[in-house]
């Protein structure tokens, strides 16, 4: 059989109540190899359509019973009937009939009497067009199936109308129902919030003629599941070279990404503990050194080796030894807290197992190398607790070597090697201790340890005293208040500077009883001055973050006020920005409770943290203390002066009283007065002095202006 003979013959259904008309139409079409099926009315036509779908329908409009318009509507409602071309045959030439024919779904119309030659050409054209449309539909179906199999969707945004077209699979990939309106807003709403800005920026650059879009981003489906899509897009130009559209695809690459992550995890992690391995640690350390060099801060390495670990394996077996290593890994991770500045994006990778019983800890962004000793002590304390493994109580200790960049090495390899050397030095010193690579740092660590021991006994021995620094009104020079400052007079060391012992008190928690002691001492001093008839002014007491964490601050201060009978408005609580940001909800609640009791609240060292004036507006704050760093150069630097003036102006607009700290010269004082600053505090007024010297200033009724004092 020839190819022409095997080709399917087109089928045309002719529906007309006039048998003569049906015959004439058939005779016209048969010479072109068209198969014709006849139906004398609407019901017969529907029956014929149900039996076999034609390639084209010739339908008379005016038929008895059911007219052609109704039959056309029924054809369109049948399965597969929506795509069959329908030609309406009518003797009516009015516009309403033509319009109605198209409204019910007609493809074309011809008028009677029919022009047979033209009819044959018209039918052939419609059959050819229908065949092309059918092939196009099949192509689209094949493409849709291919996209579903490949988990890939396509889209196009026409420029500049921004009209968007997308495949059904693209909607499915984004977790959207098939009938969801296709808009960039709807699609972007599915993108993970952390990936949305980057994807939008890349798409915008592509639309403006920038590089093609190549992006991996996450989408979140309605059920909460998360998928990863790989998107690509390019700019399409029109014939004049102008931007016409952006075309792109998106493919679900979730499984591939997860496989890649699993491979990377296995390559970079220890299979026993789940910690990072030597390879990952070296990469992290190299990155930490580069970051430290760029930001001019320090980075540190702790190298831990368990003491006498081989005995565990030899006596209890390797299974117990492995369980011990897992337990040690858990305690190390728990010991490296979020309050330590470490690689926060992946805490386990900051703690690594190099192999055997060797572990390393990486710390970044440290300001003082002694922070490394703090972590080392915490690790040794954690290891000291017994491990309960397979019915055995196992006690283990460790030796830790410490290095810091840049003092102990300029690159990752040297830092790690020197930390290893320091670890062996710790073993030589008796094990269960830590040693800095540099002996000088060991001396500093020892001095700090001695100071910590003395500090614990100092409170019991009543070695502390309170000094006071006055705050004066800039407009009049009158003393408006005092700030209480803690001083430590050790019998052996003499006067210890706050910068040396306050950080230790913060780390050890001693700051809480010390702060309570200061509050009581200040209130007792106010009572003494009241009994002597001196004019009383508010005294500011500094609060620590540890006091807020205890949850007892409000009750303790209330008890002190009741015991001493001091009016609450004479006590002002100073809190730093950093303390406020550490645990904002708890701190704000405590401040509101203190203020409700009548105490004043001030923000100390404003400008050194991250808060803003607009943020302070929502807080229970009365006073803003401008940090000395803003004041020091206002007489020499116009930019510093302008910034200071702007802060003072905005603070006053928020009804906050402004106190400038660190005022040392008359020029600074005069500028601050011209800016509208309320009060000042600094060496120009007075250094912090004991209560007796403050009494002299109070009795003289003077500001204590000493001229330009040294810093």
- Strands 226-237, 86-90: pairing is unpaired
Alpha-carbon separation of residue 390 from 317, 347, 393 (angstroms): 11, 28, 8
Cα 193 from chain centroid (whole Å): 9
Residue 397 scores a pLDDT above 80: yes
Q: What is the largest CA-CA distance in the chain?
A: 131
**Which of residues 148 and 55 earns the better pLDDT score?**
55
Query: Does the pLDDT at position 555 exceed 70?
Result: yes
Q: For residue 407, give the 3-state DSSP assignment.
A: coil
CB 206 within 8 A of CB 235: yes
DSSP summary character for residue 536: P
- What's residue 1's pLDDT? 41
First-last CA distance in the chain: 111
Per-residue model confidence as pLDDT tens digits over 632-677: 999 999 988 998 999 899 888 888 999 999 999 999 999 999 999 9
- pLDDT over 90 percentage in the chain: 31
| Two tokens, residue 211 | 């590089």
Top mean pLDDT of 327-341, 516-530, 612-626 is at 516-530
State the DSSP code for 651. Answer: H
pLDDT at 549: 77
Contact 402, 330 (CB under 8 A): no
For residues 191 and 218, is the Cβ–Cβ distance under 8 A? yes
H or E stretch covering 464: strand 464-473
Q: Is the Cβ–Cβ distance between 333 and 458 less than 8 Å? A: no
Ranges 92-96, 243-247, 552-556, 565-569: which has the least confidence: 92-96
Phi, psi of 460 (to 5 degrees): -65, -30
Residue 581: the pLDDT is 65
Please report which confidence band the pLDDT of residue 702 belongs to, taking 50, 70 and 90 as the band edges: very low
pLDDT in the model for residue 443: 58
Q: Of the spans 108-122, 331-345, 526-540, which averages the highest pLDDT?
A: 526-540
Q: Nearest 5°: phi and psi at 338? A: -70, -25
Report how far apart, in Å, the C-alpha atoms of 296 and of each of 290, 365, 366, 503, 608 are. Answer: 10, 9, 10, 22, 18
Structure tokens at 171: 């909607």
For 275-302, how does the pLDDT look when each residue is reduced to its tens digit (9 = 90+)? 989 889 998 999 888 888 888 888 899 9
Alpha carbons within 13 A on the beta-carbon side of 528: 9
Name the helix (H) or strand (E) containing 348.
Answer: helix 347-350
Q: Six-digit token pair at 554?
A: 């409000």
Q: How is residue 671 written in tokens?
A: 């500028």
Q: Which of 42-46, 200-204, 369-373 has the highest mean pLDDT?
A: 200-204
| pTM of model > 0.75 | no
Backbone φ and ψ of 119, nearest 5°: -60, -45
Distance CA 195, CA 192 (A): 5
pLDDT for 138 beyond 80? no
User: Which of 49-58, 376-385, 466-475, 600-609 has the least mean pLDDT?
Assistant: 600-609
689 touches 467 (CB < 8 A): yes
Confidence band, pLDDT 50/70/90 cuts, at residue 249 = confident
Which residues, 6 or more positions from 20, have their beta carbon under 8 angstroms from its beta carbon? none
**Contact 268/348 with Cβ under 8 angstroms?**
no
Distance, CA of 158 to CA of 529 (rounded, Å): 81
Q: Would you report the helix, strand and coil content of the chain in percent, each value rounded to 5?
A: 50, 25, 30
Sheet with strand 434-436: strands edge to edge: 351-355, 358-366, 298-306, 398-405, 434-436
Q: Where are the alpha helices (DSSP H) in 600-659?
A: 613-616, 628-631, 638-653
Which residues are 388's β-sheet partners?
A: 393
For residues 342 and 301, is the Cβ–Cβ distance under 8 A? no
Looking at residue 545, its pLDDT comes to 80
Q: What is the pLDDT of residue 34?
A: 85
Q: Is the pLDDT of residue 348 over 50?
A: no
In the chain, the domains with their CATH numbers are: 3-144 (3.40.50.2300), 151-258 (3.30.450.20), 276-440 (3.30.70.270), 506-682 (3.20.20.450)
Whether 708 shows a pLDDT value over 50: the answer reads no
> How far is it, in rounded angstroms, from Cα 488 to Cα 517?
13
Q: At what angle do helices 498-508 and 511-531 cross, to 10 degrees?
A: 120
Q: Taking the alpha carbons of 332, 333, 339, 341 in that order, is the dihedral positive or negative?
A: positive
């Amino acid at each position: 059989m020839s190819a022409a003979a095997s080709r399917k013959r087109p089928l045309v259904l002719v529906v007309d109540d006039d048998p003569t008309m049906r015959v004439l139409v058939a005779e016209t079409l048969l010479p072109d190899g068209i198969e014709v099926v006849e139906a004398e009315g609407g019901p017969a036509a529907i029956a014929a359509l149900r039996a076999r779908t034609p390639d084209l329908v010739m339908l008379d409009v005016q038929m008895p019973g059911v007219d052609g318009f109704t039959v056309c509507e029924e054809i369109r409602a049948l399965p597969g009937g929506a795509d069959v071309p329908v030609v309406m045959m009518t003797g009516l030439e009015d516009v309403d009939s033509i319009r109605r024919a198209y409204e019910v779904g007609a493809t074309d119309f011809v008028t009677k009497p029919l022009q047979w030659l033209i009819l044959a050409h018209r039918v052939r054209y419609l059959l050819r067009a229908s065949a092309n449309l059918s092939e196009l539909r099949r192509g689209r179906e094949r493409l849709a199936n291919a996209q579903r199999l490949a988990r890939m969707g396509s889209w196009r945004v026409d420029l500049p109308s921004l009209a968007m077209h997308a495949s059904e699979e693209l909607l499915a990939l984004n977790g959207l129902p098939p009938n969801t309106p296709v808009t960039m807003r709807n699609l972007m709403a599915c993108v993970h919030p952390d990936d949305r800005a980057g994807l939008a920026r890349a798409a915008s650059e592509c639309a403006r003629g920038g590089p093609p879009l190549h992006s991996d981003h996450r989408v979140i489906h309605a059920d909460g599941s998360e998928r990863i899509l790989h998107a690509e897009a390019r700019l399409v130009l029109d014939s004049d070279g102008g931007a016409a559209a952006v075309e792109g695809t998106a493919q679900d690459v979730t499984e591939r990404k997860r496989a890649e992550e699993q491979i990377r995890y296995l390559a970079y992690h220890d299979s026993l503990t789940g910690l990072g391995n030597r390879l990952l640690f070296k990469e992290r350390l190299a990155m930490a050194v580069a970051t430290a060099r760029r930001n001019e801060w320090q980075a540190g390495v702790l190298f831990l080796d368990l003491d006498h670990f081989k005995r565990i394996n030899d006596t209890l077996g390797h299974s117990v030894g492995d369980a011990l290593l897992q337990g040690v890994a858990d305690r190390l991770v728990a010991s490296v807290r979020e309050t330590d500045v470490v690689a926060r994006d992946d805490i386990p990778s900051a703690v690594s197992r190099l192999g055997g019983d060797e572990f390393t800890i990486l710390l970044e962004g440290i300001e003082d190398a002694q922070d490394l000793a703090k972590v080392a002590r915490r690790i040794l304390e954690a290891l000291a607790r017994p491990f309960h493994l397979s019915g055995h109580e196992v006690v283990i200790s460790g030796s830790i070597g410490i290095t810091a960049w840049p003092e102990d090495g300029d690159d990752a390899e040297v830092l790690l090697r020197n930390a290893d050397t320091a670890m062996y030095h710790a073993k030589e010193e008796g094990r269960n201790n830590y040693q800095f690579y540099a002996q000088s740092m060991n001396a500093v660590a020892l001095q700090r340890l001695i100071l910590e021991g003395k500090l614990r006994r100092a409170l019991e021995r009543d070695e502390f005293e309170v000094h006071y620094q006055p705050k004066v009104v800039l407009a009049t020079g009158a003393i408006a208040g005092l700030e209480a400052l803690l001083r430590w007079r050790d019998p052996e060391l003499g006067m210890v500077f706050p910068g040396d012992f306050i950080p230790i008190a913060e780390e050890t928690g001693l700051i809480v009883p010390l702060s309570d002691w200061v509050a009581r001492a200040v209130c007792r001093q106010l009572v003494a001055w009241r009994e002597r008839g001196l004019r009383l002014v508010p005294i500011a007491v500094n609060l620590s973050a540890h006091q807020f964490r205890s949850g007892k601050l409000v009750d303790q201060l209330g008890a002190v006020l009741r015991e001493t009978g001091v009016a609450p408005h004479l006590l002002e609580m100073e809190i730093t920005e950093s303390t406020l940001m550490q645990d904002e909800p708890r701190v704000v609640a405590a401040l509101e409770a203190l203020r409700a009791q009548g105490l004043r609240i001030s923000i100390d060292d404003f400008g050194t943290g991250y808060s803003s004036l607009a943020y302070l507006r929502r807080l229970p704050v009365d006073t803003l203390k401008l940090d000395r760093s803003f004041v020091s150069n206002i007489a020499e630097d116009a930019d510093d002066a302008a910034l200071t003036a702007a802060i003072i102006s905005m603070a006053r607009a928020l009804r906050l009283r402004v106190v400038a700290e660190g005022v040392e010269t008359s020029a600074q004082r005069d500028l601050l007065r011209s800016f509208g600053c309320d009060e000042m505090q600094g060496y120009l007024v007075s250094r912090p002095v004991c209560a007796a010297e403050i009494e002299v200033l109070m009795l003289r009724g003077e500001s204590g202006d000493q001229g330009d004092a040294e810093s």
